[in-house]
């Protein structure tokens, strides 16, 4: 019953895949953002697990940066979303096609 770093990698891969499914299948932009957060978390789990099993802290340092970037992404992404919503009254990604031809 020993937990190795492989266990954590599998967990992280599964969570990442759930995030990918969310991004590719859902049409609500807010949920897509949340799926991206799930993917970032999957990566974080991996980094922390390996930081522990390799007995150094570099992975954890990296997680701090990932969290910072996630915060920046959420702020800008939701800002764009609000600005878009004010013009088009929708959060459906299928209707966000004004830049597409």
Residue 87 engages other proteins in binding (rule: CB under 8 A): no
Return the bridge partners of 92, or none.
Answer: 28
Residues 14-53, mask of contacts with other proteins (x by CB under 8 A): xxxxxxxxx-xxxxx-xx-xxx-xx--x--xx--xx-xxx
Residue 97 engages other proteins in binding (rule: CB under 8 A): yes
Token digits of residue 45: 């789990």
Positions in 67-86 near other proteins (CB under 8 A): 67-76, 78-83, 85-86
To other proteins, the closest distance from the beta carbon of 90 in angstroms equals: 8
CA-to-CA distance for 91 and 28, rounded, in angstroms?
6
How far, in Å, are 28, 61, 84 from residue 25 at the CA level?
A: 9, 33, 21
């Amino acid at each position: 019953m020993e937990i190795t770093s492989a266990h954590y990698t599998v967990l992280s891969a599964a969570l990442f895949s759930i995030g990918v499914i969310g991004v590719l299948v859902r049409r609500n932009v807010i949920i897509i953002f949340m799926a991206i957060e799930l993917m970032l978390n999957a990566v974080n789990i991996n980094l922390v697990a390996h930081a522990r099993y390799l007995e150094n802290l570099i992975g954890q340092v990296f997680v701090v940066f990932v969290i910072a970037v996630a915060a920046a992404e959420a702020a800008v992404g939701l800002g764009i979303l609000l600005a878009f919503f004010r013009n088009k009254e929708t959060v459906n990604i299928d209707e966000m096609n004004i830049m597409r031809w």
